Amino acid sequence: MKLLLLKHQVPMIKVFSKLFMSTIKKNKKKQNTDIKTVKTNIWPEKELIEAFHQWNGVGNKYSSTIAPHFFPQWSFPSLFEILKQTNFPLFKIMNQGCKLTVLSSIAQDHELVIKAQLENIEHEETKIRINQQVSISQNNQPLIDALIYSVIPIKKNLKKNEIKLDENYEQAFEINFNQKMIREFGLISGDLNPIHMSSFMARMLGHKCSLAHGFSILSKVFELYETEYSKIKEIDIKFLRPLYLPNTVSLFIYPKKDLKQKFIVVSMDKKKIHAAGSVLS
């Protein structure tokens, strides 16, 4: 039963508890510019790893290793500690994607060393952009580098920069998302944000219904791309708009012109682009 996985999610539950409390308490502190690096040591939970691989339908692909796109499960508590130091209103923060670089395989039976640090903060007219860097290693060997993109809206942006779906994009495959699989992803990943877990709570928080985790889209794109094409060395993905549930999207790829291949994740009516990025394989 997936609910039993919650026993492994104490660090993530603490993160969301603090985020909830931040919606109640008004933070009047000034922005802090002296942000300290956060370093933690974690042993991967085998039960979570097996559940994550099963959710992705990868069979025995990672028999003794861990899917690299599972990195948020260990990184988010450290990333939150970085964000907490900024004194920004974190209850407004939105995940906008990441650039994931795979340096080596992650062993299941070795301790992970997680290092998180602030990369930069950009103040724009309608939002604050926050980029954070995460590195994961085992036995002093670098395994994963990830740049996490986050944004805090300041006011509504009436201008939207849309990526166009032109005739050069070719459909690669379809991905189905429903509430059951997203609830399972939340229990496995520890991202228990109610906008993903409950349609009722999502509506209470201003959405028309529940929506998929951005990193659930990353996971599906990563595994399907490797199955259909080739092994990924780097994937850069931006989450552009909410993916409401249930939903079916298509992955379109752009013919390679250099080492990187562009892709977009598009609604079935081809009118809404939910994510876009590139793959280096």
pLDDT in tens, 22-54: 655 555 666 666 889 999 999 999 999 999 999
233 and 193 within one domain: yes
Question: Given its phi and psi angles, is residue 80 left (phi above 0), alpha (psi -120 to 50 degrees) or beta?
Answer: alpha
pTM given for the model: 0.91
261 and 174 within one domain: yes
Continuous H helices in 198-269: 199-204, 214-228
The confidence score (pLDDT) of residue 135 equals 98
Assign 3-state DSSP to the chain and report helix, strand, coil percentages, each to 5: 30, 35, 35
Residue 86 has pLDDT above 90, yes or no: no
117 and 96 within one domain: yes
**Among the three residues 115, 137, 157, which one is the final residue of a domain in this structure?**
157
The confidence score (pLDDT) of residue 265 equals 95
Nearest-angstrom CA–CA distance, 9 and 76: 11
Q: Which residue segment(s) compose the domain that 77 sits in?
A: 1-157
State percent of the chain over pLDDT 90. Answer: 63
Residue 89 has pLDDT above 90, yes or no: no
User: Across the strands, what pairs with 120?
Assistant: 131
